[in-house]
């Protein structure tokens, strides 16, 4: 079946602009996660949704970052007033959570964000 | 706070040789994951280890988990060039659900 999809695959924006990154999880997966991966590093957790609500947003670096999942499926990560330090690959993952006690997370291809 | 450390960070090995990547984590975690990442690509799940003493094998890769030592290993047997990639371990703290990743081990298998 279809995996996690993310759009766009690449985004180049100017410092100070607003961007939205979209994630479409595996159908039926209730849990959705956003991670950020800087060059040469492991992914770092940003936010986790269970259904429509953010169950843990402790990884969001500051209030310029916000994420929504209004219908419990697609999620959008929003970054205001982008800074060069926001440049990274943003990864989305989903898991079946309650139906799969391994809690395995399946990752999308990522969005490479470059802030110039 | 859960922390995950991997070593080595970089590993260059010849085809046909064996080697082990180590993953230590700082607090209790009974779910440990191994992922592979090719350059410019996303994360591919390799193994999910759910309990103490768990051992899983797929081809030339074998992963194990010792929850008492807070240690997981990824053993590579008779390496081939196709195994060149970056390997990450990640631990799940309880039901927190967020994964904490190690810094990765970049494996380069030379002919």
pLDDT tens figures, B79-96: 999 999 999 999 987 665
What average pLDDT does chain A have? 94
Q: Cβ of A48 and B97 within 8 Å?
A: yes
Mean pLDDT, residues A64-82: 97
Instruction: Quickly state the pLDDT bin for A99 (edges 50, 70, 90).
Output: low
Domains: count for chain A = 1
Which pLDDT does position B96 carry in this prediction?
A: 57
Q: Looking at per-residue confidence, does A47 or B29 come out higher? A: A47
Q: Is the pLDDT of residue B44 over 90?
A: yes
A59 Cα to chain B: minimum distance (Å): 10
Minimum distance, in Å, between the CA of residue B6 and any CA atom of chain A: 11
Q: Using CA coordinates, name the residue in chain B closest to A92.
A: B42
- Contact status, residue A110 vs residue A89, Cβ threshold 8 Å: yes
Asked if residue A107 has pLDDT above 70, the reply is yes
**What CATH number does residue A35 fall under?**
2.60.40.10
The pLDDT of B49-75, averaged and rounded, is: 93
Indicate whether A85 belongs to any domain: yes
Cβ separation B96–A44 shorter than 8 A? no
Q: What is the DSSP-derived secondary structure letter of residue A59?
A: T
With cut-offs at 50, 70 and 90, classify the pLDDT of residue B76.
very high
Work out the average pLDDT over A92-104: 81
What secondary structure does DSSP assign to chain B, as a single string?
Answer: ---EEEE-SEEEEETT--EEEEEEESS--SEEEEEEE-TT--EEEEEEE-STT-EEEETTEEEEEETTTTEEEEEE-S--GGG-EEEEEEEE-TT---EEE---EEEEEE-
Residue A25's pLDDT is 96
What residues does each domain of chain B span? 4-110
- pLDDT score of B15: 95
* Percent of all residues in chain B with a pLDDT value above 70, rounded to a whole number: 96
Percent of chain A with pLDDT over 70: 96
CATH match of B4-110 with 2.60.40.10 = yes
Say if residue A100's pLDDT is above 80. no
| A33/B97 touch (CB, cutoff 8 Å), yes or no | yes
CB burial string A55-87: b at 16+ within 10 A, e below: bbeebbeeeebebebeeebebebebeebeeebb
Determine, yes or no, domain membership for A114.
no
pLDDT-derived band at B29, boundaries 50, 70, 90: confident
Residues of B in contact with A102 (CB under 8 A): 31, 48, 50
A47: three-class secondary structure by DSSP: strand
Which range marks the domain in which residue A72 is found?
Answer: 5-103
- A109 within a domain of the structure (yes/no): no
Q: Give contacts of B103 with chain A, Cβ < 8 Å.
A: 41-42
Spatial CA neighbour of A57 closest among A40, A78, A37, A41: A78
**pLDDT, tens digit, for every residue of A8-65?**
999 999 999 999 999 999 998 999 999 999 998 999 999 999 999 998 999 999 999 9
Residue A109, pLDDT > 90, answer yes
Q: How far apart are CA A104 and CA B45, in angstroms?
A: 8
Residue B10 with chain A: CB contacts under 8 Å: none
CA distances from B36 to A42, B33, B91 (A): 11, 10, 15
Is A65 domain-assigned?
yes
Residue A115, pLDDT > 80, answer: yes
Q: Is residue A71 domain-resident?
A: yes
Calculate the CA dihedral of residues B43, A37, A9, A96 and round it to 10 degrees.
50
């Amino acid at each position: 079946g279809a995996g996690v999809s993310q759009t766009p695959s690449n985004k180049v924006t100017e410092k100070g602009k607003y961007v939205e990154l979209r994630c479409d999880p595996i159908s039926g997966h209730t849990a959705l996660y956003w991670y950020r991966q800087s060059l040469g590093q492991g992914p770092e957790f940003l936010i986790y949704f269970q259904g429509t609500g953010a169950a843990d947003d402790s990884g969001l670096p500051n209030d310029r970052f916000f994420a929504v999942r209004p219908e419990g499926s697609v999620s959008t990560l929003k970054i205001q007033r982008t800074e060069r330090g926001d440049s990274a690959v943003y990864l989305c993952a989903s898991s079946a959570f309650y139906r799969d006690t391994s809690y395995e997370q399946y990752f999308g291809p990522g969005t490479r964000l470059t802030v110039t | 706070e859960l922390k995950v450390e991997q070593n080595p960070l970089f590993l260059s090995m010849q085809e046909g040789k064996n080697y082990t990547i180590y993953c230590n984590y700082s607090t209790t975690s009974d779910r440990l994951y191994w992922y592979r990442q090719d350059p410019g690509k996303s994360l591919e799940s390799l193994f999910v280890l759910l309990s103490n003493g768990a051992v899983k094998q797929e081809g030339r890769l074998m992963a194990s988990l010792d929850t008492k030592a807070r240690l997981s290993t990824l053993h590579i047997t008779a390496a081939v060039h196709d195994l060149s990639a970056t390997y990450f371990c990640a631990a799940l703290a309880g039901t927190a659900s967020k994964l904490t990743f190690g810094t990765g081990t970049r494996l380069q298998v030379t002919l």
